[in-house]
Structure 1
Amino acid sequence: MDYNREYYTNGIVQLDAAKQLMRLMPRQADSVLDVGCGSGKVAHLIYEHILPNFMLAIDSSAEMINQARLLHPDSKVMFSHQKIEQFVSNQSFDLITSNSSFQWFQNYDASINALKNALNPRGVFVLQTPYKQNWCPQVSVLINEFFTRYYPELGQCFTLPCMHFDDPEQYADLFESKNFTTASLVTRNFEYRFTGDDFRKFFMSGAYKVYTHEKSYSVAIPDRFAEDLERFVSQKVINQSVFAVTISRVLACFKPHI
């Protein structure tokens, strides 16, 4: 599977969560920065919702940015390969967004400082991200079965590579410690009854990246591991017609403390 190429189609939950996140956004903003834009689908939803005079969308993956440019050749959104930890701009932004990307930031002190420096004093930062270590119980059951059957020793070496606070208030504490004010913070459980094929797409849009990421393990991943995981999931969806799934997300709006 080519994760970067298929993310645009497979990001079912990320898209649904983004639609909820847009409710926290102002209806007007002259300038917008989208952090972790992936292949650009949500960035365009945001652009169409707000119609800013200027919008920049960044991602730490060069291949994701290439996909965004290929998929949106006439876009009014400027796509750029940049990491938020190192982001510097002469442009200040009325709105900064992070949809399903915050958990992947590498350095949270540097990232939040970069966000604050890029934000207008009266601007807003809106965030949507998974929370809870067990962010989707159904995926946990599936992956535990996979490890038990095929890679029991490797399963003992797994650590979640991205940040999922168990308590949503910890997100408020983190930003308030960086001189932000919490304007809004809510949690939402997204519930689905997926067909087998849709469950596979959902798994491949997020969990697959988590469980095949080299930084998830304290030992080297076997060469066939990613292929075996994809095959296992494909076989499971053949044998089950409906998958009931619950995904926990936190949605928040922060403002610089003035």
Structure 2
Amino acid sequence: MNYNLEYYTNGIVQFDAAKELMQLMPKQADSVLDIGCGSGKVSHLIYEHVLPKFMLAIDSSEEMINQARLLYPDSKLLFSHQSIEQFVPDRAFELITANSSFQWYQDYDASINTIKNSLRSSGVFVLQTPYKQDWCPQVSVLMHQFFTHHYPDLGQNFKLPCMHFDYPEQYVDLFESKNFTTVSLKTRHFEYRFSGDDFRKFFMSGAYKVYTLAKSYSVAMPNRFAEDLEHFVNVKTRGNKEFEVCISRVMASFKPIE
């Protein structure tokens, strides 16, 4: 399974959450920066909502950017392979967005400083990200079964490789410590009744990446681990089974303080 190539189809929850995030965005913005644009599906949703004169969409994955360019050859957006940590703006943006990407930043001090330096004084930064360490209990149960039966030692050495605060107010504390003011903050629990195939897509759109990263473990990951996990999920989701799923997300908007 290629996570990057399948993300456009598999990112069900990320797309639904993005539609909720629209409520925190201005109805118009001349310039937009979308951080962690992936394959471009949400970026175009944002573009259609805001209708900016200029929009730049960046992602740290070159493969994702290539996918976006292939999927949207006539796009009015500019796609660029860049990480937020090293991003150097050549303009100030009225709106900066981060939908399901904030948790993956490698250096939060550098990233938030870059976001602040890339915003106009009247601009706004909006983010949507999972929160809670147990961000999806159904995934936790599935992975407990997998580790118990296949890799019990490895399971004891797993740690989330991305940042999930347990309380929404922690995002407020983080940004206000970096000279932002909080405009809005809300949480949403997305509930789904997935078919087996849709649950597989959901799992492959995020959890698969989390659990197959070498840095998620304090010991070496076996060579066949990713292949075995994909096979396990395929078997579990085969047939007409239904999966009830709940995912916790936080959505917030912040403005810079001069």
With the length of structure 1 as denominator, give the TM-score of the two structures. Answer: 0.99
Q: CA deviation at 1:25?
A: 0.2
The letter for the 2-side match of 1:232 is F
- 1:40 is matched with 40
SS at match of 2:174: helix
Q: What secondary structure, in the 3-state scheme, does the structure 1 residue paired with 2:85 have?
A: helix
Aligned to 1:9: 9
Match of 1:193 in 2: 193
Aligned to 1:211: 211
| Residue 149 (structure 2) pairs with residue 152 (structure 1) | no
SS in 1 for 2:238: helix
Q: Report deviation, 1:90.
A: 1.6
Amino acid at match of 1:27: K
> For residues 28-69 of structure 1, what are the alpha-carbon distances to aligned partners after superposition, in whole Å with 9 as ceiling and x for unaligned?
000000000000000000011111000000000000000000
Does residue 182 (structure 1) correspond to residue 182 (structure 2)? The answer is yes
Show structure 2 runs of 5+ residues with no match. Answer: none
Partner residue, 2:242: 242
Determine what percentage of the aligned residue pairs are the same residue. Answer: 76
Partner of 2:67: 67
Shift of 1:257: 1.5
Matches within 5 A, 1:133-144: 133-144=133-144
1:130 matched residue in structure 2: 130
Secondary structure of 2:249's aligned partner: strand
| Pairwise CA distance, 1:239 | 5.7
Amino acid at match of 2:250: V
- Give the alignment's Cα RMSD to 1 decimal: 0.7
Distance 1:99 1:59 in 2: 12
Query: Any runs of at least 4 consecutive aligned residues in structure 1 with deviations exceeding 6 A, and if so which?
Result: none
Residue 103 of structure 2 corresponds to which residue in structure 1? 103
What is the distance in 1 between the residues matched to 2:51 and 2:68? 18
Q: Secondary structure at the match of 2:20?
A: helix
Q: Give the deviation of 1:89 after TM superposition.
A: 1.2
Structure 1 residue 147: deviation in Å?
A: 0.2
Structure 1 CA distance for aligned equivalents of residues 220 and 68 of structure 2: 31
